[in-house]
Amino acid sequence: MPTMNMLQAINNALDIAMAEDDKVLCFGEDVGVFGGVFRATSHLQEKYGRARCFNTPLVEQGIIGFANGLAAQGSVPVAEIQFADYIFPAFDQIVNETAKYRYRSGDLFNVGGLTIRTPYGGGIHGGLYHSQSPEAYFTHTPGLKVVVPRDPYQAKGLLLAAIRDPDPVIFFEPKRLYRASVGEVPEEDYQLPIGEAEIIKQGSDITLVGWGAQMEVIGKAVELAEEAGIACEVIDLRSLLPWDVETVADSVFKTGRLVVTHEAPLTGGFAGEIAAAIQERCFLYLESPIARVTGMDTPFPLALEKEYFPDHLKIFAAIQHSVNF
Amino acid sequence: MTQATYKPAFMTGDEFSIPTFSVLNHDGAIYPDAQSPDLPRDKARHIYHAMLATRILDERMMAAQRQGRLSFYMQCTGEEASVIGATAALDDADMIMAQYREQGALMYRGFSFDEFMNQLFGNQLDYGKGRQMPVHYGSRKLHYMTISSPLATQIPQAAGYAYGQKLAGEGHCTLTFFGEGAASEGDFHAALNMASVHEVPVIFFCRNNGYAISTPAVEQFAADGIAPRAFGYRMHVIRVDGNDVLAVYEATRRAREIAVKDNKPVLIEAMTYRLAAHSSSDDPSGYRSKDEEEIWRLKDPILRMRKWLEQQNWWSEEEETDTQESLRREVLDTMKRAEKRPSPELDTLITDVYAEVTPALQRQYDALKAHIRCYPDAYPKGAQALGLDGDQQHKTGEQ
């Protein structure tokens, strides 16, 4: 099995999707000859031509508006927003149009073919405008699906699933891991299910839930916890909308403790949704309050990134606090 | 290659003044230098019939709204020639992505009064399943994209839709309607730029009707209307008398040729006037004079076309009276039928959010049904959908 980094896995998924179906199109800012600022679309224009893989002007609302129209027409657009920080000019097209196309027309029209790819998250010294994790804005919008892979294998399988999914999907790519995360990825076509969490590690003392780049951070915290004799159950949510509440609840029934972590700010973050849903189901099984380890309620800083970050030590501290409650 | 200059000469764009293409004068005669488009008798009559039917539908439904039978309405009044003239110049399978007051396009393409009414009353037969406000029509069969309320969002979508049509190679284009107010939105710029750069067969059709709700054109843009903006995108553009159906038809017919044969976008600015209020919630007497409206009433596009048809001996006083009468009767009959049809099924609350109902939505729906069973009197439509009739409702209510 070949080894790929996450960008190569994403590129490979796009290549497979475009080879399989003429209706799949990739476009966005600099995605053409240049292959995208991160090179996720390398060689696709060469292979599939300028009509199917092309640069757009710098206009996010135009990219998504155009993509909505294409998807309504029956094409399968994979639109790239160069940084998730810049998805907001397209917010109206995503939230009011993409998400509601099928519902408002009584299924006369839909944009199910649409996938929006966008790199998110901190850890690259990107400061406040190249580090945001805006997933919670979109999880509040019925009609969208929100998916975040944690490594190359997941990225390929989930992206192929997203492209073929009958609903529009926003695919947040953890850019800190684009080159840092390397692993074995099958060359052939495969899909991973959207809407299902994955239990990465079984454990009896506490449940840790995260997604995307935080899974690596959770991994480091788990090492510290295990050294301290705490058995952690680790769940990668993979898909935030819809999210797999059953898998998380079943785990918390067993462990009685839950830590949720994300890079986005605390207030209104998706951890709040998870905490609410789990206390509804698991109230009598909880041994300690559900803990959230997240970014601060500030914009993402530049120089003090390390201090801001929900790192392994903060997660380990939350684990200890929960276990010793 | 830009030309060098050694004097700081500023330009304002005032050097570009775009003329208005006209064919038909107010008396229904062809202007001396103009040429009548090749419009066969039957097609001309079909266009006129759609204009008349739209006007009558609008009058009746506005009255129905005032009687409280309808929550909301928007009229096409004054703009029938722009909308229907443009639609008539398209192939029936070309996509139309409209803003919200272009019911004339649907009328021309054969949307029945029943179909209009079902949407207006949001009943069980509404294609949109009673989810949107009145006038948000859509028809897959008639290639008319379902209307959405946010302004101008359809414009970049039209560019994308048309790009897909170009790749499909079936020789179709997309026409998107919008008002001059919507042309202030970022979506407008995004759409024209994308379409121009990517050589997309799309027609951007601006109905410059003078008002964005209450804001007059003079407070909306400083330049000579919307048309000159095409220069910035190196786009074909024409300005047309929007109350002159023959001019609109001919301009759009030629625009379609450019779009489909050359894969180039075209901007059309139709100079017209919104004779009616913006919507049933608006009162134009608060921001414009009766005199101004009267001037435009004299330019009524329907009257102008009727005069032309009569001069061709393609229409008569008698046909006019009979047609108006039968259209009014038909509108009233279908309205009565539509009003009586039940609401959409209860499960339309959760269907079509996703291709398949998610477990979370199913849980919420089950909880709702259980709640309705406890309080059926408070949710008459829900109770009816769950088969709890009057007696049962009472019984369940007591439990």
pLDDT 10s digits, B108-165? 999 999 999 999 999 999 999 999 999 999 999 999 999 999 999 999 999 999 999 9
Strands A291-295 and A3-5: unpaired
Contact A167, A112 (CB under 8 A): yes
Model confidence pLDDT, tens digit, residues B78-94 = 999 999 999 999 999 99
- Please give the mean pLDDT across all residues of chain B: 95
Clarify whether B287 is annotated catalytic: yes
Percent of chain B whose predicted confidence (pLDDT) is above 70: 97
DSSP lists the bridge partners of residue A55 as A28
pLDDT at B16: 81
pLDDT at B394: 46
pLDDT at B141: 98
pTM here? 0.96
Question: Does B352 reach chain A within 8 Å, measured CB to CB?
Answer: yes
Model confidence pLDDT, tens digit, residues A3-49 = 999 999 999 999 999 999 999 999 999 999 999 999 999 999 999 99
> Which of B161, B196, B263, B351 has the highest number of chain A CBs within 10 A, making it the mutation to test binding with A?
B161
Clarify whether A187 is annotated catalytic: no
Question: Does B358 reach chain A within 8 Å, measured CB to CB?
Answer: yes
- Please give the mean pLDDT across all residues of chain A: 98
Q: The sheet that has B20-21: what strands, in order across it?
A: B20-21, B236-241, B266-271, B202-208, B174-179, B95-97
Q: Tell me: pLDDT of B397 over 80.
A: no
Burial (0-12, 13-18, 19+ Cβ within 10 Å), A182: middle
How many residue pairs from chains A and B have C-beta atoms closer than 8 A? 154
Contact B179, B155 (CB under 8 A): no
Model confidence pLDDT, tens digit, residues A146-167 = 999 999 999 999 999 999 999 9
- Which of A80, A97, A130, A263 is the catalytic position? A130
Q: Which residues of B touch A67 (CB under 8 A)?
A: 160
Q: State the nearest Cα–Cα gap between B161 and chain A, in angstroms.
A: 4
For residue A4, the Cα-to-chain-centroid distance in whole angstroms is: 19
pLDDT at B2: 78
By CA distance, what is A106's nearest residue in B?
B128
> Which of A45, A61, A86, A281 has the highest number of chain B CBs within 10 A, making it the mutation to test binding with B?
A61
ipTM: 0.95
Q: Tell me: pLDDT of B392 over 80.
A: no
Contact A125, A302 (CB under 8 A): yes
Task: Provide the chain B residues 134-153 that lie in CB contact (below 8 A) with chain A.
Answer: 136, 138-140, 145-146, 148, 150, 153
The residue written with tokens 């476009």 in the block is A27
- The rounded distance, in Å, linking the Cα atoms of A282 and A261 is 19
Model confidence pLDDT, tens digit, residues A221-239 = 999 999 999 999 999 999 9
DSSP A54-88: EE--S-HHHHHHHHHHHHHHT-EEEEE-SSGGG-G
pLDDT at B3: 86
- The rounded distance, in Å, linking the Cα atoms of B81 and B379 is 44
Contact A28, A199 (CB under 8 A): no
pLDDT at B395: 45
Q: Which residues of A touch B343 (CB under 8 A)?
A: none
Band of pLDDT at residue B393, cut at 50, 70 and 90: very low
Cβ of A195 within 8 Å of Cβ of B358? The answer is yes
Q: Tell me: pLDDT of B237 over 70.
A: yes
Q: State the nearest Cα–Cα gap between A72 and chain B, in angstroms.
A: 7
pLDDT average, residue stretch B266-270: 98
Q: Tell me: pLDDT of A130 over 70.
A: yes
pLDDT at B100: 97
Q: State the nearest Cα–Cα gap between B298 and chain A, in angstroms.
A: 38
Q: Tell me: pLDDT of B399 over 80.
A: no
pLDDT at B1: 61
Band of pLDDT at residue B17, cut at 50, 70 and 90: confident
The Cα diameter of chain B in Å comes to 91
| Facing B158 at nearest CB: one of A25, A64, A69 | A69
| Facing A109 at nearest CB: one of B140, B174, B198 | B140
| Facing A74 at nearest CB: one of B97, B164, B174 | B164
Clarify whether B278 is annotated catalytic: yes
- The rounded distance, in Å, linking the Cα atoms of B307 and B26 is 9
By CA distance, what is A24's nearest residue in B?
B164
Q: Which residues of A touch B348 (CB under 8 A)?
A: 106
The answer, yes or no, to whether the previous bond of A77 is cis (omega within 30 of 0) is no
The Cα diameter of chain A in Å comes to 60
pLDDT at B14: 84
Percent of chain A whose predicted confidence (pLDDT) is above 70: 100
Model confidence pLDDT, tens digit, residues B164-201 = 999 999 999 999 999 999 999 999 999 999 999 999 99
Model confidence pLDDT, tens digit, residues B93-118 = 999 999 999 999 999 999 999 999 99
pLDDT at B389: 67
Phi/psi of residue A281, nearest 5 degrees: -90, -35
Three-state DSSP at B193 gives helix
Strands B20-21 and A145-147: unpaired
Of B277, B283, B212, B281, nearest to B72 by C-alpha is B281
Q: Tell me: pLDDT of B391 over 80.
A: no
